[in-house]
Structure 1
Amino acid sequence: MDGGSLGTLKFLRFLAWGLALGLGPWYGNQSFCAIRPVSLVPENNVNSVRAMLKKRNAIRVLIGSGVKEVMIQGRDIERKIFVKNERKYFAGRASLAFNCSGLAKLKNQNLHAGPILFASLQSPQGYFSYQNELYRGQIKVLAKREEDACDVVNEIPIEHYLQTLLAKEMNGSWPLEALKAQAVAARTYAIHKMSDKQVSRAIGSDAFYDLESSEKHQVSGGLADVTALTRQASKQTAGEILITSSETIVPIFFHAKCGGRTLLPQEVWDNAVEGYQGVECGKCENKGEREWKNVITVDRFREFLKWAFREGAGANTLVELLNNEKLIFVPDKIENKRIKVYIGEKLFMVSKTLLRRYFGRLLVASNNFSLKAHNSEIFIIGKGLGHGVGLCQLGALAWAQQGMNYRDILRHYFPDFKIEKVY
């Protein structure tokens, strides 16, 4: 988080929201930003994680959210309805439907804030079909608190989960050593989510799943996504994760293409994570397009600044300033983390990550970009794809194609971490 102070309460209130947005405090006519990152990552000791995994080696993955009707197919299904403590067995092939709009009374009778575990399905065959995908493990149906809809959760052994994930998050036909590096990174992230028990800020630990199958967490798939190479990558690294020098487990991030150098977590999300270093990639720039370009109008950028200011309280004076004053951009470089812009005679610095958050990933493909203003337009010129933190997947591909093994690939992108086998 950013820090700074002046002697009035009014300024401190203004400062609090401004710093949260990546805006610096005023000193005369200049704005600057002093970063004091604070880690929000719990201290997950490797021994406590080992103990957890002895009790539970399956991960609970959210595969459907806000569904009005859930239809599950399978063979020899045992269904349990938790609110009735009722079990029923369906011999042979069966299709089971759940009308989620009929669960309103159930939700009103429960007082906790999170979703409600309504039903679970298991089968000795170990497979279920949901929305044309075949899933291993168990299926659980949750009643959502805030709407007449259900969530669907797949509880699946960690290694089977990774075999589907590798084909979704990377490419199931890539070199084995690149897939193995991805397997260790994704396994670490998944196990951290299991031990952390914080699905989101809104739900906290009051949930019946560990992570989502989405870009918010990690994208996994079904049985059809598994390839011989993804299965091999999982098996040859089974139980291996990355841990810090203090033997704690932190979230391990990955992205498509860093564009030349990886970023620190606090450069993107304002929260430091133990062990991370920004490293020179040296490989991904020759994979795909070297740079991307997009354009926005100055008026759209002005609206972005208004949005950023309105995220805090009491920003009316700055909004008025934006309406009346000319914007003058300081020449930018791709390695700069903040946009420098004069509003009238006052200089402001705004985090580039905010621009990507506001305009979206289709317009701003990465956090490595520069701005160039010309007349009424602003050109966004960038490198890389994704947030830029942690493992660069196209870099890992290039290293693997040159014969580097997965341990050395991980050592390159995570020099302060070591590989540890936890099961």
Structure 2
Amino acid sequence: MKEPLITVGILSGKEIEFSFPETFVSSDKIESAGDQKAVYKEGKIYWEGNLYDEISFSPQLSNSAFFELKNVTIGINFHWERKEPQRFKGTLKLIIEEKKLTAINIIPIEDYLTSVISSEMSATASLELLKAHAVISRSWLLNKIEERENEKLRMKNEKLKVRNDKVFQMKTDSAAHSSYPIPHSSFIKWYDHEAHTHFDVCADDHCQRYQGITRTSTSEVTEAVFSTRGEVLMFENHICDARFSKCCGGVLEEFQNCWENVKHPYLVGKRDDTTANELPDLTIKSEADQWIRTSPTAFCNTQDRKILNQVLNNYDQETTDFYRWKVTYTQQELSQLIHNRSGIDFGKIIDLIPIERGTSGRIVKLKIVGTLRTLIIGKELEIRRTLSSSHLYSSAFIIDKEGEEEIPSLFILTGAGWGHGVGLCQIGAAVMGEQGYTYNEILSHYYPGSTIKKKY
């Protein structure tokens, strides 16, 4: 296997502004430098007086040349969402998607990984953490490409037989948050990578953070990528779907509780600890209540600023409470929030009732009881989006109510962790790296039963 070139979707819009500090050559052999603008016009890409179905730009001479994209949104739908200019090596490709332009970066996967590691965390993290992250980021992406190729083969063999409509509708792009269908009593939905059809991976948290050469890299990042070149996690001859999140909250979640109902043996529920191995049954209300209200030992239970600075970039450091956190809503705030986020008027909110919890205590199904309507929603990301103007840190929370017995005046959500909690816990892994664990040991802890194999 040769090192693959991958395609990364960066941003979309009716117009895209970009610049070439050095000379780039378009796919129709036009040399360009300086500020550029492409516009969606008449169903095509309008650039420099010409219309295109698609167009690409590659550096003319230097492998170190870069292009800059203006107004790239990072942290889409998160509390720290913002726009910034970003710089990228490799080739820029513009295509048409849904009556808009989409900018795609074509780049070798190892160069991509150097950026991902510096974007997902600080480039000053410990070498063993960086090496572990290089392996899982490479594994996750190659797993997605492998799955897509297998799906193409299945589709060809089945003469393009369309997948079951119900499953297809449940796998939707994280950028779209549609209103719930009123006639049903439950709405269970998950968000995954399958929504991308014109490129391998997007550049935001929906896939993996990728910000080109915008984030400062270090010699440690370069060494981490180089020393693990081509290495992936394997389980039974398949590349692992190596998920990761910021902070598991002390217990790892299982894959099927967040996404498709498929159980991966290497993505299991377990303590983020090697000294306290017993795992309480957090699917039980009383156990989840006790776990979330306390602060049990775990690798990710740390306030060490040196370690946190390794994992959290400047915008992530705006989040200070993540192992345990609390959010309070008045009746008016909560009812209006749920109405705005779901598109449904529940009236006044009477109760929020966890129906099903996963191994980490994360709620998989939540019943919203209102004076006008009752609905069960899930899975974890849908719950997090519905109960926040951006995202709750996680769906591992318990609910306290205050005020009148029938119509509470106050809802207090006490929660654990930051993100879905499946696979590697970035803050926990950072602590392990500081404590002297090797990257092999870190990966073995978070993906039990997996092995490392060099693919190229």
Q: TM-score, normalised by structure 2?
A: 0.65
Q: Is the 8 A contact 2:53 2:95 kept in 1?
A: yes
Give the structure 2 partner of residue 234 of structure 1. Answer: 225
Q: Which position in structure 2 is the counterpart of 1:295?
A: 328
Match of 1:172 among 123, 136, 142: 123
Which residue is equivalent to 2:57?
120
Show the counterpart of 1:3.
Answer: none
1:183 Cα offset (Å):
0.9
Match runs of 1:75-154 below 5 Å: 75-80=22-27, 86-89=28-31, 94-95=33-34, 97-102=36-41, 104=43, 116-126=53-63, 127-131=65-69, 132-147=85-100, 150-154=101-105
1:354-412 deviations in Å (ceiling 9; x for gaps): 43121347562112211111111110111211111111000001111110000110100
Check the 8 A contact 1:72/1:128 in 2, yes or no.
no
Identity of aligned residues (%): 24
Tell me whether 1:196 sits opposite 2:147 in the alignment. yes
Q: Is the 8 A contact 2:94 2:102 kept in 1?
A: yes
Shift in CA distance, 205/123, structure 1 to aligned 2, threshold 3 Å: farther
Find out whether 1:223 has 2:160 as its counterpart.
no
CA contact (8 A) 2:40 2:99 kept: no
Structure 1 partner of 2:310: none
Over 3 Å counting, the alpha-carbon distance change for 1:309 and 1:174 in structure 2 is closer
Q: CA 1:358 to 1:323, structure 2 compared with 1: closer, same or farther past 3 Å? A: closer
Deviation, 1:256, is: 0.8
Aligned-residue offset at 1:177: 0.3
- Post-superposition shift, 1:76? 3.7
The aligned counterpart of 2:295 is none
Q: Is the 8 A contact 1:168 1:221 kept in 2?
A: yes
Q: State the Cα deviation string for residues 48-92 of structure 1 (Å, max 9, x = none).
A: xx4xxx3x6111111222151332304342211xxxxx32345xx
Residues 253 and 391 in structure 1, CA contact (< 8 A), matched pair in contact too: yes
The answer on 1:412 being equivalent to 2:412 is no
CA 1:123–1:64 in 2, change beyond 3 Å: closer, same or farther? Answer: farther
Residues 1:116 and 1:250: Cα distance change in structure 2 (over 3 Å): farther
User: Structure 1 stretch 64-73 or stretch 196-205: which is displaced more?
Assistant: 196-205
Q: Is the 8 A contact 1:170 1:182 kept in 2?
A: no
Match of 1:62 among 3, 6, 9: 9
Relative to structure 2, which stretch is displaced further, 129-138 or 399-408? 129-138
Q: Does 1:286 align with 2:302?
A: yes
Higher normalized helix content (fraction of residues): 1
| 2:392 partner letter | V
Q: Offset at 1:95?
A: 2.5
Counterpart Cα distance in 1 of 2:196 and 2:390: 33
Aligned-pair CA distance for 1:214: 0.6
Q: Secondary structure at the match of 2:104?
A: strand
Count of residue correspondences: 342
How far is 1:279 from its partner?
Answer: 1.7
Q: Secondary structure at the match of 1:272?
A: coil
1:255 and 2:257 aligned: no
Tell me whether 1:365 sits opposite 2:393 in the alignment: yes
CA shift at 1:210, angstroms? 0.8
- Quote the residue 2:261 is aligned against: 271
| Shift of residue 303, structure 1, vs aligned partner | 6.3
In structure 1, what is the Cα distance between the partners aligned to 2:41 and 2:374?
A: 56
Separation in structure 2 between the aligned mates of residue 204 and residue 332 of structure 1, nearest angstrom: 25
Matched, 1:335 2:368: no
Aligned equivalents of 1:220, 1:120: Cα separation in 2: 20
Change (3 A) 1:120 1:257: same
Residues 304 and 265 of structure 1: CA distance in aligned 2, closer, same or farther (over 3 Å):
farther
How far is 1:104 from its partner?
Answer: 2.3
Q: Deviations over 1:289-328 (max 9, x none)?
A: 44111112345555677799988xxxxxxx8xx6599548
Q: CA deviation at 1:143?
A: 2.5
- Bigger radius of gyration among the two: 1
Q: State the SS of the aligned residue for 1:231.
A: helix
Residue matched to 2:186: none
- Quick check: 347-356 or 60-69, which moved more? 347-356
Post-superposition Cα deviations, 1:95-120, rounded to whole Å, max 9, x if no partner, equal: 2634323352579xxxxxxx953333
Quick check: 2:44–2:53 contact (8 Å CA) kept in 1? no
Counterpart secondary structure, 1:100: strand
Equivalent residue in structure 2 for 1:162, among 86, 93, 113: 113
Moved more, 187-196 or 253-262: 187-196
Residues 102 and 217 (structure 1 numbering): CA distance in 2 closer, same or farther, change over 3 Å? same
Give how far 1:216 is off.
Answer: 0.9
**Deviation (angstroms), 1:278:** 1.3
CA RMSD of aligned residues (A): 3.7
Distance (Å, rounded) in 1 between the aligned partners of 2:362 and 2:45:
52
Q: Are the structure 2 counterparts of residues 403 and 335 from structure 1 closer, same or farther at C-alpha, using a change threshold of 3 Å?
A: same
Alpha-carbon distance in structure 2 between the residues aligned to 1:330 and 1:385: 19
Amino acid across the alignment from 2:41: G
Alpha carbons 2:58, 2:90 under 8 Å: kept: no
Contact 2:255 2:264 (8 Å CA) reproduced: no
> What residue number does 2:76 align with?
none
Q: Cα gap change, 1:386/1:357 in structure 2, threshold over 3 Å: closer, same or farther?
A: same
> 1:422 and 2:455 equivalent?
yes
Residue 399 of structure 2 aligns to a residue whose secondary structure is strand
Q: 1:257 to 1:361 in 2, by over 3 A?
A: farther
1:402 pairs with one of 429, 435, 440: 435
TM-score using structure 1 length: 0.70
Counterpart CA distance in 2 for 1:254 and 1:370 is 23
d(CA) in 1 for partners of 2:339 and 2:12? 33
> Retained in 1: the 8 A contact 2:14–2:40?
no
Taking structure 1 as reference, are residues 361 and 268 closer, same or farther at Cα in structure 2, changes over 3 Å only?
farther
Report the CA distance shift for 1:302/1:153 in structure 2 as closer, same or farther (over 3 A): same
Looking at structure 1, the residues matched to 343 and 68 of structure 2 have their Cα atoms a distance apart, in angstroms, of: 42
Local SS of the residue matching 1:356: helix
Distance 1:89 1:328, change over 3 A: closer
Structure 1 stretches lacking a partner, 5+ long: 1-49, 81-85, 108-114, 312-318
Say if 1:367 and 1:388, in contact at 8 Å, map to a contact too: no
